[in-house]
Amino acid sequence: MKTKMWTVDKSVGNLVTYPQITQAAEMLKQNEVVALPTETVYGLGGNAESDDAVEKIFSAKGRPGDNPLIIHIADEKQLEGFVAEVPEQARKLMKAFWPGPLTLVLEKKEGRLSELATAGLATVAVRMPDHPVALAVIEATGLPIAAPSANLSGRPSPTTARHVADDLEGRIAGIVDGGPTGVGVESTVVDCTAEVPVILRPGGVTREQLEEVVGEVSADPALADPEQAPKSPGMKYRHYAPNAPLYLVDGNAAEIQELVNEKRAQGLKVGVMTTEENAGRYKADSIFACGRRSEPESVAENLYDTLRAFNESSVDIIFGEVFEETGVGAAIMNRLTKASGFPVIGREGRM
């Protein structure tokens, strides 16, 4: 399959009629899959009403079909076609954070969406992305668009069109290049079907921000206990992983350097994932700073790009620093823990 690439300047007015947008929308209406930029990561879009389109999403990603997809909309009126009820707390969150990096899990109205898109569940996860290109494409289709991250399953999520092409060139119909994304980690997922909203996946909207709007918010126990099955799209399997094994270390730079020295003495090429404040403290084969520790938003923005950078360096093992799990740090650590798949060194003992 030849993958079409469109470049779109997101600052252009009246994007809905932009030729590249209308071409991408036409492909989506024909049940092809097209990668779209959002404010979080690039999404792999397909017609959420079509089994054929949803099957193509799963096939392109190599993603298990029992993992539900997030449905993307451009207008709240679209909810009427596939959502049974919108609780008051959900309305408040929509008003505060839509368009934006917040996904809400709501009761599904039967008959409209592909059962494959919702994995046969009685609920549906939906959001309105805060990116003019994504909104224009969705509006031009007139359809709800199912869109997981536009990467091969298990790999770091894509924050540029080049990342998408690296993973999916020849596997999908098209890629809309709207430039690099902003937030860098996926949306926060909140279950609004319970009396108290439940965070199923931390992301670009923090728990603290949610509680300012609706009061008490709880967290899915699976976030703290990997033995429990998570309920959120994109959280059931290992994700975000670079090619080399990643070990997180709850320790200072000297302790991490000791681990680096041990592995290099064994003949391994070692990488260190750090921050700008600490990058000069290490001696390793590859050292990448993912942002500034003093500005965790910069870490979130550069996280996946940094994980992918290690693939270019051909290291055998990576040691990474940990972050405070407050604010967006909760999302950062959630993604790093999923990318690692190992106990944190310093909390569960040494290697």
Give the max Cα distance, the chain.
Answer: 62
Give the pLDDT score at 181.
Answer: 95
Give the pLDDT score at 280.
Answer: 97
User: What percent of the chain is modeled with pLDDT above 70?
Assistant: 95
Q: How confident is the model at residue 1 (pLDDT cuts 50, 70, 90)?
A: confident
Give the pLDDT score at 80.
Answer: 95
- State the Cα–Cα distance between residues 250 and 258, nearest whole angstrom: 13
Could you report the per-residue pLDDT of 297-324, keeping only the tens digit for each?
Answer: 999 999 999 999 999 998 999 999 999 9
| Mean pLDDT, residues 268-276 | 98
Q: Global pTM?
A: 0.93
Of the candidates 191, 185, 184, 183, which has an alpha carbon nearest to the alpha carbon of residue 222?
191
Q: Which residues are annotated as a binding site?
A: 40, 63, 67, 72, 123, 127, 147, 149, 157, 187, 201, 240
Core vs surface per residue 87-125: b (16+ CB within 10 A) or e: bebbebbbeebbbbbbbbbbebeeeebbebbbeeeebbb
Q: Which residues are annotated as a binding site for L-threonine?
A: 40, 72, 127, 147, 187
- Give the HSE-up count for residue 298: Cα atoms under 13 Å, Cβ half-sphere: 11
Mean pLDDT (the chain, rounded) = 94
Could you report the per-residue pLDDT of 60-82, keeping only the tens digit for each?
Answer: 999 877 789 999 999 999 999 99
Q: Which residues on neighbouring strands pair with residue 176, listed in sequence order?
A: 6
Q: How confident is the model at residue 6 (pLDDT cuts 50, 70, 90)?
A: very high
Give the pLDDT score at 27.
Answer: 98
Give the pLDDT score at 227.
Answer: 53
- State the Cα–Cα distance between residues 303 and 73, nearest whole angstrom: 26
The number of beta carbons lying within 10 Å of the beta carbon of residue 141 is: 21
The three-state (H, E, C) secondary structure of 297-310, written as one string = HHHHHHHHHHHHHH
Distance set, CA 311 to CA 288, 305, 333 (Å): 12, 10, 20
Q: Which residues on neighbouring strands pair with residue 247, listed in sequence order?
A: 319
| Mean pLDDT, residues 231-255 | 81
Of the candidates 105, 85, 89, 125, which has an alpha carbon nearest to the alpha carbon of residue 215?
89
pLDDT reading at 293 higher than 80: yes
Q: What are the CB-based long-range contacts (under 8 Å, 24+) for 209-214? A: 209/96, 209/97, 210/93, 213/92, 213/93, 213/96, 213/97, 214/89, 214/92, 214/93
User: What percent of the chain is modeled with pLDDT above 90?
Assistant: 87
Could you tell me if 52 and 195 are in contact, meaning their C-beta atoms sit under 8 angstroms apart? no
3-state secondary structure of 146: strand
pLDDT reading at 229 higher than 80: no
| Mean pLDDT, residues 161-185 | 96
Give the pLDDT score at 350.
Answer: 58
Question: Is 259 buried (19+), middle (13-18) or exposed (0-12) by CB count in 10 A?
Answer: buried
pLDDT reading at 347 higher than 80: no
| Mean pLDDT, residues 183-191 | 96
Give the pLDDT score at 236.
Answer: 52
Domains of the chain from N-terminus onward: 4-223 (3.90.870.10), 246-340 (3.40.50.11030)
Give the pLDDT score at 234.
Answer: 54
Q: Which residues are annotated as a binding site for ATP?
A: 63, 67, 123, 149, 157, 201, 240
pLDDT reading at 239 higher than 80: no
pLDDT reading at 330 higher than 80: yes
| Mean pLDDT, residues 252-263 | 97
Which segments of 4-142 does DSSP mark as H helices, in order?
A: 19-29, 51-61, 88-97, 132-141
